[in-house]
Amino acid sequence: MKKSISMLITIFLIGVILTGCAEPSPFIGTWADNKGDQITFMADDSFTATIIDSQGIKSRAEGSYTVLLNAVTFSTTTGRQIVSEWDIRGNMMYLIWTDENGISISLTLYKIKN
């Protein structure tokens, strides 16, 4: 009995240690450029974005995002889905945003807040 209790405690402590060592997602935080584009990724897999579209009009989007390898999928609250490859190098994120007119906008964003 004592052996099984100590085994359970050991397994629990190993789990706590491994969970505490997990590296946070590099996405989490606010990314922006000097043109007015900005995307904020939250830890709960939600995002808000302000993007200057292909006609120079500032548009806002929010919803959830998922990351699979080097692809990110944005699912907006209006039902749009934007799939883009991404790359993070240091404090710079590169991705392509597709505006509501279907035009791709290449973004280079800088991390401004964790």
**Percent of the chain beyond pLDDT 70?**
79
Across the range 56-81, mean pLDDT stands at 94
Q: Looking at residue 53, what is its pLDDT?
A: 86
Q: Looking at residue 25, what is its pLDDT?
A: 80
pLDDT tens figures, 4-48: 666 556 665 555 454 455 566 888 999 999 999 999 999 999 999
Q: What is the 3-state secondary structure (H, E, C) of the chain?
A: CHHHHHHHHHHHHHHHHHHHCCCCCCCCEEEECCCCCEEEECCCCEEEEEEECCCCCEEEEEEEEEEECCEEEEEECCCCEEEEEEEEECCEEEEEEECCCCCEEEEEEEEEEC
